[in-house]
Chain A
């Protein structure tokens, strides 16, 4: 075997190992199990800390592209930071009320839940949580926990390098799930990705009324997605 072929082989192996090392098992959406509410259980409802209302620009991937996108949308970013997010912070209370209406012992967990601080789960597998939630059973006195975790709140504008490919949209991104604290398995896993375009014109600085309306629409639609399984 020639030296160059060995080098190529080693480079290929290294690439495979690198890719395998970086691979992360992605949790697929899991439909709500209707049986999850049937057994008498105390259910806790928690939220992770809400991010600030802001703008983000997927596709503006180089540093200069991102700087250009941030600069050209600065007035929208300034406006986004003035918008309230109170309708979202009350979501866990609303969800607990829906559960209570079904006769379920629901408990709102007042403090923000820091999922990253939980230990990694020892057992991995399909529809099992990556983090070990079992300790929360004793901490909060609940058998299951619903977690609402929002990662982005505000306005999204897609880019292709330096150029926007669309107008900005009101957007909410995150995930909501229910974990059985006995088994650390998901009873429900729902990624959230809501985008609403402004009706008609969007570029109405400084108050962006069309986009602001789209932002509140996105909030309502994301709340609907979270509450839907508990409304049936």
Chain B
């Protein structure tokens, strides 16, 4: 298995986090948890040498067929045997299709194999945590290391490239432990979507990512990670307020328009943070700059087409 295609473990953790994730930290916990700058944090980094990258599968057309079968049933035993055989064949063909769709999606990464195999979690996380607080960055520890810091944040990032190669998405499973505690005080998947590349031509996209030994892939991956840590810290320290109503949001994911039913959590410079129906936090590029003085991100938001006129216009509940 190539190091940059290490989705198995990350996907398992994603599923586990989705199923087991406790609600956001309660008010008491939130009051206790400090910000990164207070010198109380350790950041637990995955051990893997390579970084998990995969393509984005599209399963909308999967299993479209409804083949009919005549069961040979000379007697009840024969009928049951035919039924079991059909079940096994059906299950195996579903698994094969799932695998085929994922393999097809992963092909998008082939041109970047050299760059991705040289990435390391430690380098990305060092860079990302430094962006949040340069003066007092958290201590980086390995999966089996212990720390004297009061709080430990464990991160498991999984990167996904869109089929048109114009954006990278990060799914970061974040868990926060009080030091010495085996149960997390907080667990959440944080998804961060990069703004789309302005380039739309295949060659130009390839060149943009690969220039300078993949500098843009490294900086984008690190920026997404920094944003996910920032969103997680804000969420973990947030005091529960009245629930926003669910709305339908539209946003850009590469050159595609995506739709998400969610609650708006926050809106600031060039980004909106949403809480999805799964309880994940989703940080998306805003279609219009909200009030802020910061310069636009390095990757500028592409001029949207007709669909862009309805971007982020929450629909009615």
Contact = CB atoms under 8 A, between A and B. Distances in A.
Interface in B202-258: 248, 250
A197 B58 CA distance: 8
A84 interface: yes
Contacts of B261: 212-213, 216-217
B66 interface: yes
Interface in A138-166: 158-166
B83 A162 contact: yes
* Interface size range on A against B: 35 or more
B317 A200 contact: no
Contacts of B250: 220
Contact of B60 (A164, A197, A210): A197
B277 A213 contact: yes
Contact of A163 (B58, B90, B248, B259): B90
B68 A161 contact: yes
A144 B19 CA distance: 52
B315 A160 contact: no
A28 interface: no
A160 B62 contact: no
A163 B66 contact: no
Contact of A87 (B59, B62, B316): B316
B288 interface: no
Contacts of A191: none
A110 B69 CA distance: 46
* Interface size range on B against A: 35 or more
B67 A216 contact: no
B15 A169 contact: no
Interface string B249-279: 0100000000111000000000000001111
A59 interface: yes
A201 B18 contact: yes
Nearest to B67: A160
Contacts of B259: 216-217, 220-221
B69 A195 contact: no
A59 B64 CA distance: 10
B59 A165 contact: no
Interface in A172-217: 195-197, 200-201, 204, 207, 209-210, 212-213, 216-217
B143 to A, nearest CB: 24
A158 B306 CA distance: 34
12 contacts: A61-B66, A158-B65, A161-B69, A161-B86, A164-B94, A165-B93, A167-B59, A169-B60, A200-B15, A204-B278, A220-B259, A221-B259
Interface of B: 14-15, 18-19, 58-69, 71, 83, 86-87, 90-91, 93-94, 248, 250, 259-261, 276-279, 306-307, 315-317
Interface of A: 58-59, 61, 84, 86-87, 90, 158-167, 169, 195-197, 200-201, 204, 207, 209-210, 212-213, 216-217, 219-221, 224, 231
Given A158-B64, A169-B60, 19 more contacts: A59-B67, A86-B316, A86-B317, A87-B316, A160-B68, A161-B69, A163-B87, A164-B63, A165-B65, A165-B66, A166-B63, A166-B64, A197-B58, A200-B18, A209-B278, A216-B248, A217-B259, A220-B315, A231-B306
